């Protein structure tokens, strides 16, 4: 079976010397496992990044260390990244026995379209981002597909048992565990209180205006009564 390959050489740099090694374009790492003694190694940083993008997660690589002509199958066990630049700082490679099954976490890959999202305006909720599976190294997938087409309404729920498990792979996560569902859209209520307060304010303004008008013109005369005289009486 053809696998991606990566070449390395034994690493002597330790401590502060590792920073200088990175500046020269080399990446520090270590390989261990499968009965091997832990060995510090270094390899070309660009070659590793290219291989990492193309091979994907859980891919088995054939590692060749300078001075040892035999290729060793390995997995990317751990990758240390810079917290800001996200550049790779250090890599742990795990030598594996291709005949022994391993249990790993794999990400869930969403496929298909949900009517509850497209037609009803709901929001797809990912209740889990990954599941645990068991398989031989060469059968480990980079992801497990989940078709969300059955999510036709807000009551439908997809479980781990609905995942598309490839041949040679065993699902370790509980099959009854919920994986995805669709949440109904949020409906905002009208600001009733604000409307009532606006009506109240309008009423108070109208009342104040009426009182002001009454104060300026005095009380109107009742029907059938003469209005009071406002001028002064002349003496005879």
pLDDT tens digits along 10-60: 999 888 899 999 999 999 999 999 878 899 999 999 999 998 888 877 889
Residue 234, pLDDT score? 46
Q: Strand 36-44 vs strand 5-10: parallel, antiparallel, or unpaired?
A: antiparallel
Is residue 126 pLDDT above 70, yes or no?
A: yes
Number of Cβ atoms within 10 Å of the Cβ of 146: 21
Residue 22, pLDDT score? 93
**Ranges assigned E (strand) in 96-220:** 102-111, 123-126, 130-135, 143-147, 157-159, 170-171, 178-183
Domain residue ranges of the chain, discontinuous segments joined by +: 5-95, 102-183
Please state the CATH superfamily assignment of the domain spanning residues 102-183 in this structure. Answer: Ribosomal protein L25, C-terminal domain (2.170.120.20)
Q: What CA–CA distance (Å, rounded) separates 79 from 81?
A: 6
What pTM did the predictor assign? 0.69
Q: Does domain 5-95 have CATH number 2.40.240.10?
A: yes
pLDDT tens digits along 87-105: 899 999 999 999 999 999 9
């Amino acid at each position: 079976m053809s696998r991606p390959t990566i070449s390395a050489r034994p690493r002597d740099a330790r401590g502060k010397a590792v920073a200088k090694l990175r500046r020269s374009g080399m990446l520090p790492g270590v390989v261990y496992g499968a009965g091997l003694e832990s060995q510090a190694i270094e390899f070309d940083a660009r070659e590793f990044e290219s291989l990492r993008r193309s091979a994907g997660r859980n891919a088995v690589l054939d590692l060749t260390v300078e001075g040892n002509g035999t290729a060793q199958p390995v997995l990317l066990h751990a990758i240390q990244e810079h917290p800001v630049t996200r550049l790779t700082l250090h890599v742990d490679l795990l030598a594996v026995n291709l005949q022994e099954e391993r249990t790993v976490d794999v990400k869930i890959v969403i496929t298909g379209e949900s009517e509850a999202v497209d037609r009803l305006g709901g929001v797809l909720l990912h209740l889990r981002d990954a599941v645990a599976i068991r398989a031989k190294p060469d059968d480990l997938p980079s992801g497990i597909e989940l078709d969300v087409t059955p999510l036709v309404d807000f009551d439908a729920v997809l479980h781990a048992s609905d995942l598309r498990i490839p041949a040679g792979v065993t699902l370790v996560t509980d099959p009854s565990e919920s994986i995805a569902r669709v949440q109904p859209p949020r409906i905002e209520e009208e600001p009733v209180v604000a409307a009532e307060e606006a009506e109240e304010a309008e009423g108070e303004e109208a009342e104040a205006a009426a009182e002001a008008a009454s104060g300026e013109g005095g009380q109107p005369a009742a029907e059938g009564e003469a209005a009071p005289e406002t001028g002064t009486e002349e003496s005879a």
